[in-house]
Chain A
């Protein structure tokens, strides 16, 4: 239905763009907490080459990666930024500003972070962002192709719900971003991870995917999620 695995739906940019969209081989994950490790495991299962980095040294991370996401590589933030085709930012949201602004220049960056004042502390800039926290993340990394996605489900759901394309109980994950080719690439990744991708529009629509947003933390079909997003 809305699955990006259906190449005919990839848009009018032609075969070259479609190839680009499907070309992701290396997924990098920044943040080695519950979400980061779950995504690393899911990406390994989907057949990607996966590198995980956290704020500490790679050696210290190696054991956790080896046990929790076997096959993935413990790496440094710098190496992940350089080598991955698609990078997932799964760090605590109060820490993304510690990363250099030009770190992800030209890269597709999936912002999977959420801002909860109760756990992150008050952050006036994030609180005031009408378009959601990813707009602030994009402003911090102006050269990155930011797509907001993979933030809407808990790590339990991300662990439990991956399904083959076409499975009747496959659930949806939305992606929003201003770089449309980046969004389509991320949708392809979502599909390979085992979820139906839904294009939620421009980055500022990301507010709808955040805590307090209506479809947040719900397991919905692609059709239901798309309907919900268009009604908001």
Chain B
């Protein structure tokens, strides 16, 4: 039996970190640090490096393809993608241009996760109405999938000017832009991913990740219903931080977790974060914080329980200083992920007895979605 392929990736929102004096460093330095982190990720054997999309003063990830192209120029193997692109407020044509170019620059290493956006500051910034949140995404996803298939495009919709006999450039070699749909757990977005035959990336940033298992089942049943192969990959985005010891990891991450969630609570109506909540999140929730062995022992059972093929770990939350972020990357690449592979090889979970049968109807974009091969 062929061994199951997993993808172990990193996510960065390019948080503004603090320098040795405890003060936030310059945004331009954050951008350069991120490029170095991407290069380091390849050195330590990580499969993919993925950058988010925000437009706010504590995160510098407003132009992912530029940062990814810089990393591409200094790496050879690592896949380069987004931890979520807010498709709703992007022009799908421009997105294609950027990522087809990134794919060319990186010789076929570009990938994407498309979402409606959890942080929605891009709506007012680019002149979109949040009340169109659902409709915009549906229309733009439909268009983007069409663009991925290539050829001569004729299309019209509500949220961008029509396209008539347009051929986009640079051409994308068939199967070279893995495109996933990101979901924060809304059943509607899970079913939508299945409808388009696109792989699913579940973002879990609080509570027990195992809670999302019914959504994985829903995804696979919906794939079958829409006539797509039922073994398209599913991934998990979650939060973590690794240091030499549990204590060091927890005490380093805690104040930055508090600051990040305190701000999010005020902005988004979440409850005020507490130490008890942080402890619960690190013990059995969506924060994989600790020594390499502790974090590996948290990740493997969650991947098994959710039956996922990919995990993207946001490897340090908030203002954790650059040096400690780099250490977290090194631990993840050299120790945590190899250990998780070992644990999953020893006990792969329910799909050990053979993958579910693929449907007969091949999705036209399916070939583009295999997780990174090792």
Chain A residues packing against B (C-beta within 8 Å): 32-34, 37, 54, 60, 63-64, 67-68, 92, 94-95, 114, 116, 118-121, 154, 156, 159, 211-212, 216-218
CB distance from B301 to the nearest CB of A (A): 19
Extra inter-chain contacts (6) besides given A94-B130, A119-B268, CB under 8 Å:
A34-B185, A63-B191, A63-B218, A114-B269, A120-B131, A218-B271
- Knowing A37-B187, A68-B187, A154-B271, the reply to whether A119 touches B130 (Cβ < 8 A) is yes
* 28 intermolecular pairs with C-beta atoms under 8 Å apart: A32-B187, A32-B188, A33-B186, A33-B188, A34-B186, A34-B187, A60-B191, A63-B191, A63-B222, A64-B190, A67-B214, A67-B221, A68-B214, A95-B131, A114-B269, A116-B268, A118-B268, A118-B269, A119-B268, A120-B130, A121-B123, A121-B130, A156-B206, A156-B207, A211-B269, A212-B269, A217-B269, A217-B272
Chain B residues lying within 8 Å of A159, measured Cβ to Cβ, are 211
Chain B residues lying within 8 Å of A95, measured Cβ to Cβ, are 131
CA distance A154 to B205 in the complex (A): 14
Contacting residue for A64 out of B120, B130, B218, CB 8 A: B218
Does B270 have its Cβ within 8 Å of any Cβ on chain A?
Answer: yes
Q: Would you give the 0/1 interface string for B106-150, flagging 1 where the beta carbon is closer than 8 Å to chain A? A: 000000000000001001000001110100000000000000000
Does B217 have its Cβ within 8 Å of any Cβ on chain A?
Answer: yes
Q: Would you give the 0/1 interface string for B214-244, flagging 1 where the beta carbon is closer than 8 Å to chain A? A: 1101100110010000000000000000000
Chain B residues lying within 8 Å of A116, measured Cβ to Cβ, are 268-269
**Range, interface on chain B:** 20 to 34
CB distance from A219 to the nearest CB of B (A): 9
Chain A residues lying within 8 Å of B206, measured Cβ to Cβ, are 156
CB distance from B366 to the nearest CB of A (A): 21
Does B360 have its Cβ within 8 Å of any Cβ on chain A?
Answer: no
A64 touches B185 (CB 8 A): no
Chain A residues lying within 8 Å of B221, measured Cβ to Cβ, are 63, 67
B217 touches A67 (CB 8 A): yes
Chain B residues packing against A (C-beta within 8 Å): 120, 123, 129-131, 133, 185-188, 190-191, 206-207, 211, 214-215, 217-218, 221-222, 225, 267-272
CA distance A54 to B134 in the complex (A): 13
CA distance A68 to B211 in the complex (A): 11
CA distance A159 to B123 in the complex (A): 31
B191 touches A118 (CB 8 A): no
Closest-by-CB residue of A relative to B128 is: A121
B269 touches A121 (CB 8 A): no
B120 touches A118 (CB 8 A): yes
A156 touches B188 (CB 8 A): no
Chain A residues lying within 8 Å of B123, measured Cβ to Cβ, are 121
Chain B residues lying within 8 Å of A114, measured Cβ to Cβ, are 269
CB distance from A111 to the nearest CB of B (A): 16
CA distance A159 to B131 in the complex (A): 28
The 8 closest A-B pairs by CB, nearest first: A121-B130, A211-B269, A217-B271, A67-B218, A64-B187, A156-B207, A116-B269, A94-B131
CA distance A37 to B185 in the complex (A): 11
Closest-by-CB residue of B relative to A217 is: B271
Chain A residues lying within 8 Å of B272, measured Cβ to Cβ, are 217
Chain B residues lying within 8 Å of A32, measured Cβ to Cβ, are 187-188
- Among B211, B268, B271, max chain A CB count under 10 A is at B271
CB distance from B191 to the nearest CB of A (A): 6
Closest-by-CB residue of B relative to A117 is: B130
CA distance A92 to B133 in the complex (A): 10
Chain A residues lying within 8 Å of B271, measured Cβ to Cβ, are 154, 216-218
A118 touches B267 (CB 8 A): yes
CA distance A114 to B271 in the complex (A): 14
Chain A residues lying within 8 Å of B191, measured Cβ to Cβ, are 60, 63-64
CB distance from A172 to the nearest CB of B (A): 15
CA distance A54 to B189 in the complex (A): 14
CA distance A67 to B187 in the complex (A): 10
Chain A residues lying within 8 Å of B207, measured Cβ to Cβ, are 156
CB distance from A3 to the nearest CB of B (A): 24
B120 touches A119 (CB 8 A): yes
CA distance A212 to B267 in the complex (A): 10
CA distance A119 to B133 in the complex (A): 9
Closest-by-CB residue of B relative to A64 is: B187
Contacting residue for B131 out of A121, A211, A212, CB 8 A: A121
CA distance A37 to B191 in the complex (A): 14
- Knowing A121-B130, A156-B207, the reply to whether A68 touches B188 (Cβ < 8 A) is no
- Among A67, A92, A94, A159, max chain B CB count under 10 A is at A67
- Knowing A63-B218, A63-B221, A119-B130, the reply to whether A217 touches B270 (Cβ < 8 A) is yes
- Knowing A116-B269, A216-B271, the reply to whether A121 touches B187 (Cβ < 8 A) is no
Closest-by-CB residue of A relative to B265 is: A217
Chain A residues lying within 8 Å of B218, measured Cβ to Cβ, are 63-64, 67-68
CB distance from A9 to the nearest CB of B (A): 29
Closest-by-CB residue of B relative to A210 is: B269
